[in-house]
Structure 1
Amino acid sequence: MTTPSRLSLVFILLSVLVHADANGNGGFSVHLIHRDFSPNSPYFNSLETHHDRVQTAIRRSISRTNGAFKRSSSSVASSPTNANQNGNITTTLNAIGGDYLMNISIGTPPRQLLVSTDTGSSIAWVQCKPCQDCYEQNEPVFDPRESSSYKSIHCLTPVCFELSESMSCENKLCKYDIGYGDKSSSIGHLAFETLTFDSTSGRPVKIPQFAIGCGHSNEGFKDAYSNGMVGLGTGTGKLSLISQLGAKIDSKFSYCLVDADIGSSNKFNFGSHAEITGKDVVSTPFITVEEGLYYLTLKAVSVNDNRIPFKSKYESDGQEGNIAIDSGTTLTLLPEEMYSDIESEVKKATNSDGFISSETGLLCFKADKNTKFPNITFHFTGADVKLTDENSFLSTPDGLCLNCRSAGDRHVLYGNLAQMDFLVEYDLKAKKISFKPTDCSKHK
């Protein structure tokens, strides 16, 4: 995230009226917009080639994690939720925008805003007037005075205490203070407001009494098209999107990300629309540790029939919750000790040493029609996720490049390229994530 498009989501739900398109059962779907590849994105440049866009996505992926999380020798799973020296909550990923955007509307009458969205953060906020220190955005900043449904939250209101370390009182109003790994931050007041989604059916999904941050001081951001952050993570108590929607969506959501070469829309699903079934479904438990992130347990990675066990100087053998799944990051980042073995096996399988791209740092190959690439499988607890060549290798100007690299001392992440053409369901009640191979361009 160095072109910050930050996005975190916070919503609260006291009485939620969801005008959904699923016979009132809380099931609905919305469009996700890939910031580089979708013609519906304001960042889309028709003069760029596909390879230009790939390079941009890779650079952002690297920036999103650089310096975002410096690990100590202690286990990730034993780390507390991050708080900076000022006492505010600090997310572990940088506030540079994730790969996906979403249109939401807030207020009455509804004001449409474009926000960044990903599973690596939790609190939702938008820039608000009066702006003490706002970043420049192309659209007018949201003005609460123009909305009849905007309601400030008193600092003694129970929802304010969900902010824990990041909460304070200012003129009796609930004040939040959120920091990101790249030292950017958003400070403002928490308020109840009406949130509206434009569902894929064309029928609006309206959520009144949604707790959202109204940001008056937003530093370190340089994203003119993004009006704020909407996160889908697990942190910040009952303020996360899924927590606020709660029983209305049976605490479930899913997404289906299309291959970047295809122009169709990505889908984000809630409630009954999120459920996946069938013989090809595999599931693995998740745990929640750091602010906003979902952690899986990676047992090993296979390159063809050669199984490489998870190993890292930061985690002990068998450590639960050793890799975070992140829809906002393109690349997969693995521990150096493990990645070096994977790289060696890939070179053996392709019968080539390849080369390291000076542009991206990825292992690349000048492939021809005779080059045979290996099958790569991620072995999570209870779930073997078999990747396709498109999940494992990325077409770049340098050639075909392995879609993972060493994490160094940064977060170990399972990125979105490895998730493309999988229906990925998050079930927060069962505390599991499920995968099903799917042609996402045809997913309804």
Structure 2
Amino acid sequence: MAVKMIKIAISSIAFLLALSAGSNAINFQSLSVHELAYTTHEIDTSHSTQLPSNSIYKKHQMTLQLVHRDKMSIHGKKTYWHLFQEQLIRDSKRLAGLYRQLKNSSSRSSSYELHDFGSAVVSGVEEGIGEYFVKIGIGSPPVDQYMVVDTGSDVTWVQCEPCTNCYNQADPIFDPAGSASFTRISCGSVACGLLDQAGKCGSGQCQYEVTYEDGSYTKGTLALENLKFGSTEVENVAIGCGHHNLGLFAWASGLLGLGGGVMSLVGQLGSQTGGAFGYCLASPGSGSDGSLVFGRDAGIPTGAIWVPLVRNPLNPRFYYVGLVGLGVGGVRVVVPEEVFQLSEYGDGGAILDTGTAVTRLPVRAYENLREAFVNSTIGFPRADSVSLFDTCYDLSGFGTVRVPTISFFFSNGPELTLPAKNYLIPVDVHGTFCLAFAPSDSGLSIVGNIQQKGIQVSFDTVNGLAGFGPDTC
């Protein structure tokens, strides 16, 4: 069968987008070990000097620069190893929270259990949620606030004065008394009834409450407020004004909910953006953290492949995709398609998630992927397992290596072949690289942000499509 393919260079690594399944895919691609040598340096994570301005760049008005959480840290310089360990700890908490949410929403008794993270928590490390952040303006006049970006949450909220219980944040706490556009929402409003946890009533005003996977929470008043994305202002967006907040959000002021529910920012901006948004998480060493784009004319690069979104009525906030198979070295891994299917009870399926770092696969799928990858890398010296990664290599003596490609296959034919540095990643300063996938007992597949880096990911919620395209970070 003829295979139509689009080949795009991402740094020195080939990024392949195959538009239909077939057997002629390129089997290997190069991984520059030295290119990732930045991991040997300390990383200055001081938030006071490295945060970018609220810049709108490229040609789209509603384009925001993403900031990785490591630049929001208050702990100063850290080694790559320390930051990597912290990321895995956050990842474990995120996964446990997702499992709890899915178990609670499933229409039958499910076995969502966490058997994932084996490393000890670093002493003295306190980690919260959120991997990427953006700066937006809130209120009239707009007050700049850094917000966690989360595609797995619906409610957008910000810490508000008077704050009975607030965590530390980089920006001054938002005071609604200083905003001419702030309007509290009444208990009987449509918006109040659309909250996942039906809004409670307090003094005639709608009260919201959201609890996150690590035990963090926010409680307060639901209100209509103006939000400013660069030069574009959007009026009357329903947001939470949090007066009782507990947790660690890396000094962010709140959270930008980009989930698939009607109360998410994406759902509320439907008339202005056509239900479309996208993001690009920059590749390691690129010097940028990436971008977040809203609008039907933005974030949809030429040459993107499109895959169907699969709706889960029991969990509409997550973006499920029609994953049907995996490939290694251009050869389809033997895994029945039903392993990836979303059941009528809301179990299984595959989601795209910016808050999870490492891609999780059902045990059977992971084991077959790992076996195929190991069989294609017999010449590489092996290294001991590191944390949740059981397939590692000592590449300290190499400058560049040729590694087998890894691909995702989607329903109706599209194939996405990942850049090599999205699945064989450095885990220490000594040249140890590990296969960045992990097994999951839950049956749920999660495509994490490590595998999404350097790829423009776009969502067309009106037509039920997700797109993957060339690097535009």
Summarize the Cα distance change of 1:411–1:185 in structure 2 as closer, same or farther, 3 Å threshold.
farther
Aligned partner (choices 19, 32, 55) of residue 66 of structure 2: 32
Partner of 1:162: 194
1:303-318 residue pairs with structure 2 within 5 A?
Answer: 303-304=328-329, 305-309=331-335, 310=337, 312=339
Conserved in 1, the CA contact under 8 Å of 2:148 and 2:249?
Answer: no
Spell out, residue by residue over 1:362-386, the C-alpha distance to the aligned partner (whole angstroms, 9 max, x if none).
4211124375321111111132111
Is 2:300 the counterpart of 1:276?
A: yes
- How has the CA–CA distance of structure 1 residues 410 and 113 changed in structure 2, closer, same or farther, with 3 Å as cutoff? farther
Q: Deviations over 1:244-284 (max 9, x none)?
A: 11121111111122102111241111114425254452433
Q: CA RMSD in A?
A: 3.2
1:301 equivalent to 2:326? Answer: yes
Paired residues in the alignment total 391
Question: Does 2:94 match 1:60?
Answer: no
CA distance in 1, matches of 2:226, 2:342: 43
Q: Distance in 1 between matches of 2:68 and 2:266?
A: 22
Match of 1:260 among 281, 284, 299: 284
* Secondary structure, counterpart of 1:350 in structure 2: coil
- Is 1:123–1:231's contact at 8 Å kept on the other side of the alignment? yes
Partner residue in 1 for 2:255: 229
2:77 equivalent in structure 1: 47
CA positional deviation for 1:399: 1.1
User: Who is 1:385 aligned against?
Assistant: 416
Q: Offset at 1:355?
A: 4.5
Match of 1:372 among 402, 412, 421: 402
Is residue 2:366 matched to residue 1:339?
yes
* Deviation digits for residues 25-73 of structure 1 (CA, Å, limit 9, x no counterpart): x95211111122xxxx322877334454444333322332135415999
Change (3 A) 1:99 1:226: same
Is 1:394 equivalent to 2:394 in the alignment?
no
Gap regions ≥5 residues in structure 2: 1-55, 110-126
Tell me: CA distance 1:301–1:44, structure 2 relative to 1, closer, same or farther (3 Å).
Answer: farther
Alignment of 1:179 onto 2:179: no
Paired residue for 2:238, among 211, 217, 224? Answer: 211
| TM-superposed deviation, 1:164 | 5.3
Query: C-alpha displacement at 1:361, in angstroms?
Result: 3.4
Q: Give the fraction of aligned pairs with identical amino acids, expressed as a percent.
A: 28
* Mean CA deviation greater in 169-178 or 139-148: 139-148
Change (3 A) 1:410 1:214: farther
Deviations 1:213-260 (A, max 9, x none): 0111123x023511111110012x3x2111111121111111122102
Is the partner of 1:30 in helix, strand or coil?
strand
- Distance between the aligned counterparts of 2:235 and 2:279, measured in 1? 24
Partner of 1:119: 151
CA displacement 1:398-439 (0-9 Å, x = unmatched): 611111101233852101121112111100110110111x23
Cα deviations by residue, 1:277-314 (Å, 9 ceiling, x for unpaired): 54452433332442521111221111111423256599
* Residues 138-196 of structure 1, C-alpha deviations (whole Å, 9 max, x = no match): 44322211222111111122222222533111110011122223333221110111111
Q: Are the counterparts in 2 of residues 281 and 434 from structure 1 also a CA contact under 8 Å?
A: yes
- The reply on whether 1:248 has 2:272 as its aligned counterpart is yes
Deviates more, 1:414-423 or 1:273-282: 273-282
Q: Which amino acid aligns with 1:385?
A: L
Q: Which residue of 2 aligns with 1:287?
A: 311
Give secondary structure in 2 for the equivalent of 1:430: coil
How far apart are the structure 2 equivalents of 1:138 and 1:31? 17
Distance 1:111 1:430, change over 3 A: same
Aligned to 2:288, the other structure's residue is in SS state coil
**CA spacing shift, 1:265–1:138, aligned 2, 3 Å:** closer
Paired residues of 1:333 and 1:406 also in contact (CA < 8 A): yes
Structure-2 change in CA distance of 1:394 and 1:440 (3 Å): farther
- Following superposition, the deviation at residue 205 of structure 1 comes to 1.2
| Other-structure match for 1:420 | 453
Distance in 1 of aligned mates of 2:142 and 2:214:
32
Does residue 140 of structure 2 align to residue 108 of structure 1? yes
Aligned-partner SS, 1:62: helix
Aligned partner of 1:5 in structure 2 is none
- 2:416 aligns to what SS in structure 1? strand
Q: Which runs of 5+ in 1 are unaligned?
A: 1-19, 81-94, 199-203
Secondary structure of 1:373's match?
A: strand
2:283 counterpart SS class: coil
CA contact (8 A) 1:119 1:232 kept: yes
Q: 1:46 to 1:218 in 2, by over 3 A?
A: closer
